Amino acid sequence: MIEVPEIFARIYEKHGHRCPMSTLGGRLGLAAMALPQLDRESLRGVYHSRTCALDWIALTIGCSEEDGNLAVTAEGRHCLELYDDAGNGVVLSLNENAMQIAGDYRRLSHELEQGWDGLTEEERSARDTRREAALDALLPGLWQAADADLITVRVGAIDKRDPNG
């Protein structure tokens, strides 16, 4: 396994596994926090898909469903809307390139999981090794890519929403 940057290692430990979507969630949150437009004290957010990205988003932006300042919809869009009490807002979305990378890994993961229950320990180990090698090849690119290679950002006032409802 490759050496993982500390901030990414924290989420993988909390999240329970390494994957592109948790990494991309972190990239969304880190990109949002680099923008000066928002008042961090009154920050609220909405993420439009329940995926592995949520753990990272919560860690990086400091909002969570448990705290009531991050809502999650079932729209299936990988889009994070953040706003503050003053009406300042940003919308960050995973772009086509990011979704292609995540989709390619998801297809590989599904392929490796096919027939899992009927595999011998040796076959399972071989598939796990293949998965880890794929992640070792993929994740550094996601850690190091420019935000513009993965994320679309729109800055401006957005409608205030109640994250609880």
Report all structural domains of the chain as residue ranges with CATH numbers, in order of start. Answer: 6-155 (3.30.1330.130)
Instruction: Spell out where 12-105 has E strands.
Output: 44-47, 70-72, 79-83, 89-94
In the chain the first and final C-alpha atoms are separated, in Å, by 42
In the block, tokens 């994740």 appear at 139
Share of the chain above pLDDT 70, in %: 94
pLDDT at position 157 is 66
Q: Hey, which residues does 90 pair with through a beta bridge?
A: 82, 155
Any idea how long the chain is?
Answer: 165
pLDDT, tens digit (0-9, with 9 covering 90-100), for 126-153? 999 999 999 999 999 999 999 999 999 9
Name the pLDDT band for 7 (thresholds 50, 70, 90): confident
Give the model confidence (pLDDT) of 36-63 as tens digits: 888 888 999 999 999 989 888 988 898 9
Beta strands in the chain (DSSP E): 44-47, 70-72, 79-83, 89-94, 151-155
- Nearest to residue 56, comparing CAs of 14, 4, 116, 109? 14
pLDDT at position 8 is 86
**Encoded amino acid at 25, one letter:** G
